[in-house]
Amino acid sequence: MLDEVNATRQNLALAPLDTHLGLAGVAAAHARDMAEKGYIGYADTAGVPLLDQVRLAERQSLIGSFASNIAVLPAGATPAQIHAALLSDPGNAENLSRGFTHAGMGTYESGGRLYVVQLFARIDGALSQPLPLKLAGSTTLQPSLANSAMVPVGWSLMSANGDVVARGGGKRLQSSSGKPLEGYLNVDVAVGTDIYSLRGPYVQVD
C-alpha cells in the first residue's frame, strides 16, 4: 500500500513517505479493533482518536501534523484496489498530497471484509530517548529537530479534551505545584516569530 501511495506522490512531484513502525502498529491495532468490535471510525469505542492512540503508543517522535484514512473493502482486495477506493474520496486523496514525511498502514480481514487504516504524519523531530509512561520528578527534554530553524522554547501538557494541564518554559518537564500531572506532551518550538507545538507522547509526572 505504501508503494501505491508513493507512486501517487511521485506523480505529484512530492517526496516519498517513509514507513514509521509506531504509526503502523497503531494502524494495524485499530483495523483489528474495528473488525472485532464491529464499528468503523476514527476513534476507538472508548472515544480515543487515532492521533491520541499514536501518542499513547509512540514514546519518542514529535509530530507536526497528522491525518488518517479508513476504508472497508471486500476481503482479498489488492493494494491497487485499496488505493483506488481510497482515492475515490476527495478527503483521502488530499491526505496523499500533503507535506507528510512518514506513514503507517494496517489491515485486518474478518467476515468477508477487509478493514484498512492508513496513518500519515510529518515527524518534525524526536526526543533523545523514548519517554517512559511514568516520570519521577523533573525530566529534561532533549528534542532533536528536523528543521534547524526550530528552537525549543517550552512545553505543555494537554488533557484529552484539549485543556492545558501544565505549562513550562525551557526543557525541564516537572510539576510546579508538587502534585502529580498527566497529559499529552507538546514541545513548543519557535520558527522566527512564530510558535508551533509539536505533539509528543502521553506521560504521567509524579
**Mind listing the pLDDT tens digit for each residue in 80-123?**
999 999 999 999 999 999 999 999 999 999 999 999 999 999 99
Tell me what pLDDT residue 173 has: 86
What does R_g of the chain's alpha carbons equal in angstroms? 18
Tell me what pLDDT residue 35 has: 97
Tell me what pLDDT residue 136 has: 79
Tell me what pLDDT residue 174 has: 80
* The model's pTM: 0.94
Distant-in-sequence, close-in-space partners of 56: CB < 8 Å, separation ≥ 6 = 48, 201, 202
Rounded Cα–Cα distance for residues 61 and 188 (Å):
14
CB 64 within 8 A of CB 123: yes
Tell me what pLDDT residue 157 has: 94
How would you classify the pairing of strands 194-205 and 134-135? Answer: parallel
Distant-in-sequence, close-in-space partners of 11: CB < 8 Å, separation ≥ 6 = none
Q: Residue holding cell 499514536? A: 54
Q: Cα–Cα–Cα angle for 128, 103, 167, nearest 5°?
A: 45
CB 26 within 8 A of CB 54: yes
How would you write the pLDDT of the chain (206 residues) with one tens digit per residue?
Answer: 999 999 999 999 999 999 999 999 999 999 999 999 999 999 999 999 999 999 999 999 999 999 999 999 999 999 999 999 999 999 999 999 999 999 999 999 999 999 999 999 999 999 999 999 998 778 888 899 998 899 999 999 999 999 999 998 888 888 777 788 899 999 999 999 999 999 999 999 88
- Phi/psi for 50 (5° steps) reads -60, -40
